[in-house]
Amino acid sequence: MNLDQVRVLYSEEEVKARIQQMGEIITRDYYEEELLVIGILKGAFIFMADLVRKIDVPLRIDFMDVSSYGSSTISSGEVRIMKDLDYSIEGKNVLIVEDIVDTGLTLNYICEILRKRNPKTLRIACLLDKPSRRKTDTVPDYIGYSIADEFIVGYGLDYAEYYREYPAICILNPSVYEK
């Protein structure tokens, strides 16, 4: 880890403990139910892998790949579906797993599409929430951490496809992206 480029916000141990708590809450909420967990690629893949191992109900997984950032640090607001679901969600309990909810525009778009497919329930779990930047009424049901308006990398989150592998949640030094 290049420490001159990042500052650790939440350590690997803190993140794993919080995900354990989230898994226990989700397990209680879906007790004796089946769950379809949908990961939003690419950022959510590490969080989702750890989260599903902490959920103790029968579950299946699927993925969607959507893009609203490209290689920018600011969402364009235009959402493109790069990969849609492999499974039908009709009549299923669906949990969307997202790395970070920022403006909420992308997540709102995804929820609108998925609601039209008639799931039994539709909830959202996110590792990080930035409520100060929200532009929609979409609010996650399960939140790892609420954070200030900082550019975050690590634990699956990236800047221009770099830093995803960092095991902690880190604040990226602005000198990296303000060039």
Long-range Cβ contacts of 46-51 (<8 Å, 24+ apart)? 46/155, 46/156, 46/164, 47/19, 47/97, 47/99, 47/127, 47/144, 47/155, 47/156, 48/97, 50/16, 50/19, 51/19, 51/22, 51/23, 51/26, 51/97, 51/125
Tokens of 148: 């200030």
Please indicate whether residue 65 is annotated as part of the active site. no
Q: Which among 50, 99, 102, 158 is annotated as catalytic?
A: 102
Given strand 80-83, what is the order of strands in its sheet? 80-83, 59-67, 35-41, 93-101, 121-129, 142-146
By DSSP bridging, strand 59-67 and strand 35-41 are parallel
| Residues carrying an active site annotation | 102
